[in-house]
Amino acid sequence: AMLYQVRGLMQRFTHHTRAAPLHRACIVATTRRPLLGGHICAPLQSAAVEATTTTLAAMAAPRNVNLLVVSGQDSPELEVLKQLPPTVTIVAVGRNLDDLAHLTPEQWDGITVLLNCGVGKNAGKRDDIRALWPKLRNLEWMHSASAGLEHLLFPELVGGPVTLTNAKGVYSHSLAEYCLTACNWFAKDLPRLRRQQAAAQWEPYDVEELRGKTLGIIGYGDIGQACGRLAKAFRMRVVALRRRVDLSAEEKAAGIVDDIFPPERLHDLMAASDYVVMATPYTPSTHRLVDAAAIAAMRPHGVFINLGRGKCVDEAALVEALQAGRIRGAALDVFETEPLPADSPLWKLDTVLLSPHCADRTKEFQFESLGFFVENMGRFVAGQPLSNVCDKRSGY
């Protein structure tokens, strides 16, 4: 009976440690409680308590982690890594094999986590990470400080056991702000204001409200939901496209989305919307998801906004529709080819609001992204589930 009670005690603590860290006081208090009403002989009770305490202490102790950071060494956001748990050791920071040539075989074998971060010249590139891969024999987890994965995935990563996480959700609010700015750009005809100001013309004109207009969201993930929340602040109607059409209890309580369309009803969403925002990641299934037929389904006064990836849209078909005046305009932060070629007709279209893939590039964005990684590392060392685990084969 005593053994069953000890076993039950350990099982309850084992279950508890999977959900939250154990406190030392909790362990001490439990081990001092007499088992079987205090009728266990002292040596046996001592052995049982010692075994239980040892097991629980091992469960509660944060693990030691050796971290490799693939980034330029002068990336300012690396300051955030000073907040990592004390059991984490940064083995090295570098972008490629040349930067990391000083590492010994033993150091390579000790690396269990890889962080890929940096912007521009400081960014870690897919080919460089792939060249490091054979040396990372004991890698368990790789984190990307970006949200998109199409420029990162390679066969050895996709097919292997390494867990991949990303920064999904970190950039959503800034992109949602861009979305509603784009809507107002057209609703208030801001280009006309600028032209009249430059010509010193006082010529009042009617403007539109966003209130009562419909925002159609293609891809109702973190970015799409953030766009929906801001649209509701303008009292817009929100419809969205995603595979799962049923609303969760939380979504119903939030009251953001008015209707959900399945993917096969993309044209219906396009036709029902005054503004359409593309917020999907790029995967084989989203390649040119918005094609000529989808664009043709838009309302004549419709505006197309792309915050996702340029290759999710048939750019040539979009240009043709804009040049012919079949839709009102477009706001584009992403393009099929980046940088956008100088000979692209998009540069010269007055009905296009164009930005160089910087709608989420705030001065804080990389710092916030690494802040999320630090939080996730806290989960990792505590043996808790990681947030933002990616489906490598699906590409997001």
> Within 10 A of 213 (CB to CB), how many other CB atoms are there?
19
Name, in order, each residue with C-beta under 8 angstroms of 133's C-beta and a sequence gap of 6 or more.
154, 156, 157
* Euclidean distance between CA atoms 166 and 94, whole angstroms: 19
Q: Which of 50, 79, 156, 338 is catalytic?
A: 338
Helix 24-31 and helix 42-60, axial crossing angle in degrees, nearest 10 = 160
Across the chain, which distance is largest between two alpha carbons, in Å?
A: 98
What 3-state DSSP class applies to 93?
strand
54: buried, middle or exposed (CB in 10 Å: 19+, 13-18, 0-12)? exposed
Examine residue 356 and say whether the peptide bond preceding it is cis (omega within 30 degrees of 0). Answer: no
338 catalytically annotated: yes
267 catalytically annotated: no
* Euclidean distance between CA atoms 49 and 69, whole angstroms: 42
23 catalytically annotated: no
Token pair for 377: 């590392």
Q: Which of 143, 173, 237, 309 is catalytic?
A: 309
Q: Which of 288, 357, 361, 368 is catalytic?
A: 357
Concatenating the DSSP letter of every residue in 167-212 gives: -TTSSHHHHHHHHHHHHHHHHTTHHHHHHHHHTT---------STT
The catalytic site residues sit at 309, 338, 357
